[in-house]
Homo-oligomer: A and B are copies of this chain.
Amino acid sequence: MSTAASLRPRKAQIDRTATALFRSRGFAATSMRELATALGLEAGSLYSHIKSKEEILHRVCFGLAETFFAAFAAATEATEASITTQLRQAIEAHVRVLTQDSAASTVFLHEWRHLSEPARTEFLALRDRYEASFRGLIQRGIAAGELHAPDAAFAALTLLASLNWLPSWYRPDGRLTPEEIAHRLADQLLGGLIFTG
């Protein structure tokens, strides 16, 4: 277990500040000296808390992956519910994770490729598994006659695409609350999926 909360506080603070910088400048363009300055430290001091720059990225990417899996599992555990309901809950759970930490989400979505092997391959495997969860849900929905789509894989990709663009325009102080955004996204996306004819 290596969630942010269980780390020593200073280390967690480094992770949070680094995540914000990685988001706005990108991993490669963020220097350890910038990060140190943002924390009121000298660059060398960071290494009393962390092993390397990439270690931070690793923790952010894999930590958020864990969060996404947990949220999906919780959203779909009520197996007596209709597939449509489960999918709606999974969408809303995904949106909730994205909005709860949009900085980490952006890093998760865009900066993982700066992981070196084998972490990079492991990460992609996790991401594939997550996409497969959505794909499976949509497939079962199609089989049950609740959803219609020419291709479950295609539909799953498009669905996650719509959701994952969110952190690039979401503002915590914006007009819509996370819950409203989640509802609307689910409405709009399911509106194109639910069998109406």
Residues of A that sit less than 8 Å from B by CB: 24-26, 28-29, 110, 113-114, 149-151, 154-155, 157-158, 160-166, 169, 176, 184-185, 187-193, 196
- 4 additional A-B pairs beyond A151-B184, A158-B165, A161-B162, beta carbons within 8 Å, are A154-B176, A158-B188, A158-B189, A161-B163
Q: Can you identify 8 A-B contacts, CB atoms within 8 angstroms?
A: A150-B184, A158-B162, A158-B165, A158-B188, A160-B165, A161-B164, A161-B165, A192-B192
Task: Say how far A67's CB is from chain B's closest CB, in angstroms.
Answer: 21
Residues of B within 8 A of A189 (CB): 158, 192
Residues of B within 8 A of A113 (CB): 24-26
Residues of B within 8 A of A169 (CB): 157
- Contact present for B154 and A165 (CB under 8 Å): no
